[in-house]
Amino acid sequence: MASSDVVTLQDTTFDKEVLKSDVPVLVDFWAVWCGPCKAIAPAVEDIARRYKGKLKVGKMDVDEHQQVPQNFGIRSIPTLLIFKGGQVVGTVIGADKGKLEEAVKKVTG
């Protein structure tokens, strides 16, 4: 599913990969069966490529890893959260490429 530019996140790696990251992190909460998740995936991959070095991009399968999505109140997917300094600084719910691009630009300058 994920390319070499996208980190596959797990409950056990979330803290190190996201909350303690030196750069902002875009996290795509998704599931295999989710149509809108598949629709936004190419945009997420594109952002990972274009912002490499300025933004880390990760995907978390909510069926395989449930603790972190519960902790952040993920109720619908796709939900994309942007973290900076361990805090959520941006949220995009649904497959809205325009809103996603806008949110990423806000944190990367």
Among residues 79, 82, 78, 73, the alpha carbon closest in space to that of 107 is found at: 82
Among the listed residues 28, 44, 14, 45, the one whose alpha carbon sits nearest the alpha carbon of residue 80: 28
Q: Is 15 a catalytic residue?
A: no
Query: Cis peptide leading into 69, omega within 30 of 0?
Result: no
Single out the catalytic residue among 6, 18, 37, 68.
37
Catalytic residue status for 34:
yes
Which residue out of 18, 34, 43, 103 is catalytically annotated? 34
User: Which one, of 5, 28, 7, lies nearest residue 16 by Cα?
Assistant: 7
Whether the CB-CB separation of 37 and 27 falls below 8 Å is answered with no
Which residues form the catalytic set?
34, 37
